[in-house]
């Protein structure tokens, strides 16, 4: 009987670089680490250059709510007037093939995944400093200053929550991308190796 894969969650607030890390990990080491990224479902409009099924699964709010009610989402949350969630069927299909799943979600989502999959490895991604976090959030948003301020306040709040009530198994400082990827690859490789030897 084929062993199920394992879930790795990159947890952290907006602006810490979770999505970049996930994409680069799968692109460079997906085959070596038997790793797949599951895009998130969202009700927001696609931005210029974003592709359905690659960046996100873009769906209408009605469809998203149907998935919620049918138990088709492992986790979900609402941010900036849009809903985001991870598809249960997509994750379970990858795990059933013996492959590992890499997710990039916030603390609320990571908590929900951990309750459903206690063996999931939660990695908290943090910026090297508050100044860097502020700079990244300011650069990434094309929206108003009000939204930027909200993202920054929420990011700080999430990091404070983790400090008070830790959920992460590991902490990854995302300062230099290459170093962060090297550290993450080592963590995933060692975790999978231990699982296979168990």
- 8 within 8 A of 114, measured Cβ to Cβ: no
Question: Within 10 A of 3 (CB to CB), how many other CB atoms are there?
Answer: 10
Could you tell me how far CA 20 lies from the centroid of its own chain?
A: 10
Q: What is the mean pLDDT of the chain?
A: 88
pLDDT at residue 129 in the model: 85
Output 81 or 20, whichever has higher pLDDT. 20
- Furthest CA-CA distance within the chain: 54
Q: Domain locations in the chain?
A: 7-38+97-197
Q: Band of the pLDDT at 197, cuts 50, 70, 90? A: very low
pLDDT confidence of residue 25: 94
For residue range 1-27, list pLDDT tens digits in order: 567 899 999 998 888 889 899 999 999
Q: Is the pLDDT of residue 198 over 50?
A: no
- Neighbouring CB atoms inside 10 A of 173's CB total 15
Q: The pTM is what?
A: 0.86
Q: Which CATH architecture has domain 7-38+97-197?
A: 3-Layer(aba) Sandwich (3.40)
Q: What is the pLDDT of residues 140-180, one digit of tens each?
A: 655 677 777 878 888 888 888 888 888 999 999 999 999 99
């Amino acid at each position: 009987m084929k062993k199920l894969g394992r879930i790795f969650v990159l947890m952290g607030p907006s602006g810490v670089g979770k999505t970049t890390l996930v994409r680069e990990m799968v692109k460079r080491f997906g085959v070596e680490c038997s790793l797949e990224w599951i895009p998130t479902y969202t009700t927001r409009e696609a931005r210029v250059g974003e592709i359905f099924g690659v960046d996100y699964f873009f769906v209408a709010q009605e469809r998203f709510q149907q998935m919620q009610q049918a138990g088709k989402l492992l986790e979900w949350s609402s941010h900036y007037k849009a809903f985001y969630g991870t598809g249960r069927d997509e994750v379970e299909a990858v795990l059933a093939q013996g492959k590992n799943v890499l997710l990039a979600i916030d603390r609320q989502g990571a908590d929900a995944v951990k309750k459903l999959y206690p063996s999931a490895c939660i990695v908290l991604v943090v910026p090297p400093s508050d100044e860097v976090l502020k700079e990244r959030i300011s650069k990434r948003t094309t929206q108003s200053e009000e939204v930027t301020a909200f993202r920054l306040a929420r990011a700080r709040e999430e990091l404070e929550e983790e400090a008070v009530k830790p959920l992460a198994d590991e902490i990854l400082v995302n300062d230099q991308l290459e170093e962060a990827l090297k550290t993450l690859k080592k963590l995933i490789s060692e975790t999978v190796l231990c699982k296979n030897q168990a």
